Structure 1
Amino acid sequence: MAPRNSNDPFVVISTREEDFSRPHLPEGKDPLYGPWGEHGSAKFEDPVGFAVRKLREIHPKASIVLFTYGIDLLGFPKVQVEPISPPEVITNSVFIPLARRMGEDAGVLVNNVRFGAFKVTWQNLNFIYYTMLFLHGAFENVQNFVLFEGPEEVPRALVSAAGSYSASLHEEIYVFDSGFWQKDRKLWLEIQKANWKDVILKDEFKKGLQKDVFGFFDSEDMYHDLGIPWKRGIIMHGPPGNGKTISMKAIMKQADANNYAPLYVRSFRSWKGEEGAMVDVFDHARRMAPCVLILEDLDSLINNQNRSFFLNQLDGLDSNDGLLIIGTTNHLQNIDPALRSRPSRFDRKFPFNDPDPTERKLYCQYWQHKLASNDEIDFPDSLLDEIVDVTDKFSFAFLKEAFVSALVTLAGYDDPKKKPSFGEEIKTQITTLRKQLNSDAPSSDVCGDTSDNFPGAWTGSASRTPIMNNELPRIDARRFEQNTDRIWVAGSVDPMHGRFQRSPLMPGEMPAPAGAEDGMTRDGRDMRSRALQAAALGRSFLF
């Protein structure tokens, strides 16, 4: 710089240019990492086409198979997976809490992969797998690439095997809700508790229900020999609290064990509209046939606006071979006669009415047997007969409440001298429930006739309750192994709500519905259950 002269009118100042760029990072092993990041910021982008062209330059001898949704390659248990260059794997981490009773630290940290390259080994063959998340329009999408140095049939076989595994059920139940089919592990665990021995109904009625349900699946040849469609419809109806729920759970458990998938529909409400939802429901059921399609609260699902379309799905041009459709309702009289009475639709009806004296006695004997080992409970046959006599018009739910309330009340006494006998306490509870029943009893105009005046109706008696309880068991954190401290998930996370979003979106598909449960993907996949599956497999990578 020239020396400064104080007499000069201007002062010339020069500075040495500073380098404020980021320090040079060591290059990774993945040659696509840098170009991909550079191109993702370009003014014009075609991420999928660019990635394919670049991968062909990098791996000129490799066959490349692309796929988007519906295939969980990282969750496929028959492959071994490891990141090629861990420092270059881009992830978002989300903490998935478990039940608070498991402790303050009960939960799992899940890594959502935005860019990653993995070495995949399957049947002693080595593949390279890329998963990339990018913005396209208003939504984030995931594109997947499988590379193999050899014929294209080999990576296609891998993708096909992973797709078949992803599409099949693994101790799960398919549930349709909010416009999506989703696999529900918690519901599967819930129905495992059901047992036909706990269904307190007359033996003739119970056997008739079982025969109609499972005899259908054994009668395919008979239907075809007679030249009639192999499909059936059953309605389980009656006031709530009389055994529809436990019976349905027992049916679902046995059907699942016999490899007849139970498909459970909670609602036809969907971003596609109810008719679009019905198409999705029946298309999926036809693919899964033979199966049991369960429609909870049929009178609420079918209304004046969607009835015609639903009837078209039931007996229109499309084949429903192998479909057993079971509907439940508390108000049979509210269902349109075209649906409830016409043959080939719902031609069998099983009434679950308030138990008669014989069924009330069966239920009391059930409790008498359960309490037989309790020395503090005196439950003689004379008390059993007395309970049967004073519980006329009680539902099974009211009977259960009488027993449970009596036992809970007795357990709360600290002073044995003030503690009443079991007989005294259960009579007190029955009196209280009787007052409630009488005060809440609706008029006959509201209830309608619960007798069976419909073709194909069963002539026995039976029971009631809403179909599926949403209070399903929480995931037990103790099932996690210590070596599963990192779980990788390919997909996106809703930054506003912290919810997982299945990626990519299908063409025309809407984002996650508002109010979706935290820890669930947009299509309803339970991330807690999937984390447990990863732990059981001893791996740390999951979609």
Structure 2
Amino acid sequence: MAGMNATRHLEVLEDAFIKVSFQEDSGIGADDPFYDDWVNQSSARFSEPSVYAARTLRELHPGHSVVLFQDYETSILGFSGALIQPVSASNLITSLFFVPNPRHNGGPPGTLVDSVKYGAFRVAWNQYDFLLYILRYPQGLGINTQHYLVHDGPEEHSRALLMAAGGYKAQLHEEILIFNQGFWQKDHSLWVEVQKANWDDVILKDKFKHDLKKDVFGFFDSEDLYKQLAIPWKRGLIMYGPPGNGKTISMKTIMKDCDAKGFAPLYVKSFKSWMGEEGSMAAVFNKAREMAPCVVVLEDLDSLINDQNRSFFLNQLDGLEGNDGLLVIGSTNHFERLDPALSGRPSRFDRKYLFDDPDREERALYAKYWQQKLASNKSISFPDSLVDDVATWTPKFSFAYLKEAFVSTLVLLAGIEGDDKPSFADVLHGQIRSLREQLDKEPEQLDVPGAFTTSSATVAQPVPRFRRAQLAKPVSSRVSLQGRIFDSSDGMSMPGQMPSVRAMPRMG
């Protein structure tokens, strides 16, 4: 008897709560029956709004399935496989923020982005219709965003939609994953920059180029061989040598080719983050294992690895959790700074490539490239003898210094007016002398046992420095699609039978 009384007491309290919390239809927000209820509840004192919203949606849509989900790994508003419209633009509550565009791009100064605080959307996908609710509210010390899918059918349809959206978000769409400040971020601008790289733009001795490409792409083609030999299918490779001699352009070309072949490049900018360097290393290798087979790019390896994090990094590299399919490529200008445990153990970085300053033959090849580039300019005299002179004047020059000599010469000539301009050869010789004075004496390169050595990693065209991701995040694909999401025009065709606004039930 006591149990029955308690049950009846709870029913009375629930009925009372509903009557207190729900206002009669006042005509405001009539397009969206849930709007008034949520706004009223959001102004009240409550401890678990997600449960309240789930119960209310079930009461508003009897016979429908209601699925609660978090959108971190699905980004359903950015899912290109679904057509999405607001139920009512007047009931949509968003907060705008401004994302500036690069000035050199021209066009508008930036983009206004909508951050949804309350939204109800009609979703059409795979011949099914859904209602998507997005609710944001304070919880604890932070802000929680809860998503709901309401569907006139079994819950499995909603789960299938979320699986499809999550699978789409997990893929790379002309993007490269960058790890920085403890987070993975998809970067389209880096992908675009990498597409400019080409093996034809880097002059390497034939054997050196062949060995480098074989070590990279032969690794991905050799999974069965590794398994037959009962050895872990992983490899490490280090590119080292003085700056400005082609490590970066070679790295970019490898990233481009790996991406084209389906082996995702993962670029690590820094291990420093809110979770500590060891936490970042674990996050990087966990993602790499998830994406394998893939290539992990560690530029400036000597800066990423230090005395404090080295032991943990080596444990991750050794792959106690399994590193099958991982190709780790590191680069450094200072090989001597790497700990022998990192650089000397074959099972970690078993291939080493020295990108040294160019010798005389390669300096002449680079000068000949500029000779061909400037051949159509009738105001510049660039005879074959000047090619030989450049090669003679520039010992110990890196290709970056050679490029600077030509670029600065052209800039100076462009700024000189009148008929008494000095000759191209005289200005070039003066710039080379100036650069010679600025050139710091580099320490001798270490003789690394087992390293593939070359003095030719010549960039055959001026290539900008490998630009790492900026701290300001670019507008994501989800943001770029919001023009589609918030377009509530009636002329859009919707697959399936989208629920009519007027037919949507309302609490009475």
Question: Scaled by the length of structure 1, what TM-score is found?
Answer: 0.80
1:379 deviates by: 1.7
Between 203-212 and 384-393, the greater mean CA deviation after superposition? 203-212
1:327 aligns with 2:330: yes
Amino acid at match of 2:451: A
Unaligned runs of 5+ in 1: 1-23, 473-515, 521-525
**Which of 144, 149, 155 is the equivalent residue of 1:146?**
149
Report matched runs for 1:291-370 at 5 Å. 291-370=294-373
Structure 2 Cα separation of the partners of residues 79 and 450 of structure 1: 57
| Residue 104 to residue 209, structure 1, CA distance change in 2 (3 Å) | closer
| Residue 331 to residue 301, structure 1, CA distance change in 2 (3 Å) | same
1:137 deviates by: 1.3
Q: Which residue number corresponds to residue 501 of structure 2?
A: none
Structure 2 Cα separation of the partners of residues 262 and 317 of structure 1: 22
**Which of 57, 72, 76 is the equivalent residue of 1:73?**
76
Q: Which residue number corresponds to residue 246 of structure 1?
A: 249
**SS of corresponding position for 2:75:** coil
Structure 1 Cα separation of the partners of residues 229 and 465 of structure 2: 34
Structure 2 Cα separation of the partners of residues 528 and 290 of structure 1: 25
Q: Which residue number corresponds to residue 218 of structure 1?
A: 221
**SS of corresponding position for 2:95:** strand
Structure 2 Cα separation of the partners of residues 387 and 471 of structure 1: 36
1:123 aligns with 2:71: no
1:268 deviates by: 0.4
1:200 deviates by: 2.6
Report matched runs for 1:151-190 at 5 Å. 151-190=154-193
**SS of corresponding position for 2:324:** coil
Structure 2 Cα separation of the partners of residues 70 and 94 of structure 1: 22
**SS of corresponding position for 1:527:** coil
Structure 2 Cα separation of the partners of residues 156 and 92 of structure 1: 29
Structure 2 Cα separation of the partners of residues 280 and 103 of structure 1: 37
Structure 2 Cα separation of the partners of residues 458 and 304 of structure 1: 27
**SS of corresponding position for 1:211:** helix
| Residue 345 to residue 103, structure 1, CA distance change in 2 (3 Å) | closer
**Which of 454, 458, 471 is the equivalent residue of 1:460?**
454
Report matched runs for 1:133-532 at 5 Å. 133-415=136-418, 417-437=419-439, 440-442=440-442, 447=443, 449-454=444-449, 456-463=450-457, 468-470=466-468, 516-517=471-472, 520=473, 526-527=474-475, 531-532=479-480
Structure 1 Cα separation of the partners of residues 380 and 481 of structure 2: 43
**SS of corresponding position for 2:62:** coil
Structure 2 Cα separation of the partners of residues 254 and 376 of structure 1: 39
CA contact (8 A) 1:248 1:467 kept: no
**SS of corresponding position for 1:377:** coil
Structure 2 Cα separation of the partners of residues 387 and 57 of structure 1: 82
Report matched runs for 1:43-122 at 5 Å. 43-68=45-70, 69-101=72-104, 105-122=108-125
Give deviations 1:237-291, integer Å, cap 9, x for gaps: 0111111111111111111111110000010001111110011000000011111
Q: Which residue number corresponds to residue 132 of structure 1?
A: 135
- Count residues with an aligned counterpart: 457
Structure 1 Cα separation of the partners of residues 261 and 357 of structure 2: 31
CA contact (8 A) 1:148 1:155 kept: yes
| Residue 102 to residue 215, structure 1, CA distance change in 2 (3 Å) | closer
Unaligned runs of 5+ in 2: 1-25, 488-508
CA contact (8 A) 2:93 2:118 kept: yes
**SS of corresponding position for 1:200:** strand
Q: Which residue number corresponds to residue 42 of structure 2?
A: 40
CA contact (8 A) 2:85 2:486 kept: no
**SS of corresponding position for 1:74:** helix
Amino acid at match of 1:121: A
**SS of corresponding position for 2:267:** strand
| Residue 377 to residue 539, structure 1, CA distance change in 2 (3 Å) | farther
CA contact (8 A) 2:359 2:395 kept: yes
Question: Scaled by the length of structure 2, what TM-score is found?
Answer: 0.86
Structure 2 Cα separation of the partners of residues 213 and 86 of structure 1: 52
CA contact (8 A) 1:240 1:466 kept: no
Q: Which stretches of structure 1, 4 residues or longer, exceed 6 Å deviation after superposition?
A: 464-467
RMSD over aligned Cα, in angstroms?
2.1
1:466 deviates by: 11
CA contact (8 A) 2:86 2:486 kept: no
Q: Which residue number corresponds to residue 13 of structure 2?
A: none
Amino acid at match of 2:427: E
Structure 1 Cα separation of the partners of residues 280 and 360 of structure 2: 43
Structure 2 Cα separation of the partners of residues 109 and 461 of structure 1: 50
CA contact (8 A) 1:234 1:326 kept: yes
1:375 deviates by: 2.3
Give deviations 1:401-453, integer Å, cap 9, x for gaps: 001111111122221x221222121111111111111xx325xxxx3x41433
Amino acid at match of 1:258: K
